Amino acid sequence: MSGQSGTGSHAAPAAAVGSGVIDLLGLLAYARLVAFFRLAGDAELAPTLASKGELADLAAAEHANYRRLHDRLAELGVEPEAAMRPFVAPLDAWHARTEPQSWLESLVKAYVGEGIAGDFYGKLAEVCDRRTHELVRDTLVESGRAEFVAAQVRRAIGEDPRLAGRLALWARRLVGEALSQAQSVAASRPDLAALLGSGARARDAEVGSAEDAAAAADPAQAADATSADLATVSRMFAELTEAHAARLEAMGLST
């Protein structure tokens, strides 16, 4: 497997993987660090000592994910902070544009945001080398958070049904802003977009095995992000919104 991920001919550092994979790990590391900050902040504002503790546990789990991704980048000979840096602005912009105004909004944001980001990273990881795939998959394990959040939102809506419409609107805005930032990332990081595009093509061609998908994501190809890649990426984003609809239903929100 690892041979298929190659070293590529492009600007990747002294790493055994292509620069699209480095981008993915850097993006994910920063995303986990920011998720840690968000969850720690949510924990501080949680209404009871018990819920403060539970959210602090979730925050600590995100820190552990960040640390694993960070250390994997270092192990690949890449300066982790350099790999994370291109994704600071778009992720910070997403958070700045979606600042929750209430405890419920922050719960919905955690659920919807982490959900759609998780689907996105999961699709990307499928076309990476096995070690990256496993690392990304492990750091996406949500360990009960989704159910914790969905149950709290359902209960709140049960107590005040007027909340449903406002929170559904909020969820729609979260996804719109997420797709907008993701498009901007895809446009500015051609290797990452090519990796994503190749994965989508592999699926479109109904290539079944992970090995074939990885071959389709050959980094020699990955250097050329084309407008075709960007179009493929857009189609993939459309697919992501289907899983999003399922999450809304789990919270008792209509789409």
Residue 13 as a binder of a copy of itself (CB under 8 A): the answer is: no
The pair phi, psi for residue 209, each rounded to 5°, is -90, 155
Q: How many CB atoms lie within 10 A of CB 220?
A: 11
Let me know: does 17 contact 54? Beta carbons within 8 Å: no
H or E segment and range at residue 248: helix 227-250
Q: Which span (7-15, 62-70, 159-167, 236-244) binds a copy of itself, by CB under 8 A? A: 62-70
Residue 94 as a binder of a copy of itself (CB under 8 A): the answer is: no
Residue 96 as a binder of a copy of itself (CB under 8 A): the answer is: no
Distance in angstroms (rounded) separating the CA atoms of residues 253 and 169: 9
CB of 93 to a copy of itself, least distance (A): 16
Among 11, 50, 96, 160, binds a copy of itself (CB under 8 A): 50
Distance in angstroms (rounded) separating the CA atoms of residues 170 and 251: 13
Let me know: does 162 contact 198? Beta carbons within 8 Å: no
Distance in angstroms (rounded) separating the CA atoms of residues 201 and 216: 8
Question: What angle (nearest 5°) sits at the alpha carbon of residue 193, between those of residues 190 and 195?
Answer: 110
Binding mask 74-93 for a copy of itself (x = CB under 8 A): ------xx--xx--x-----
Nearer to a copy of itself, 63 or 166 (CB): 63
Residue 246 as a binder of a copy of itself (CB under 8 A): the answer is: no
Among 9, 37, 89, 249, binds a copy of itself (CB under 8 A): 37
Where does this chain bind a copy of itself (CB under 8 A)?
Answer: 30, 33, 36-37, 40-41, 43-44, 48-50, 52-53, 56-57, 59-60, 63-64, 66-67, 70, 80-81, 84-85, 88
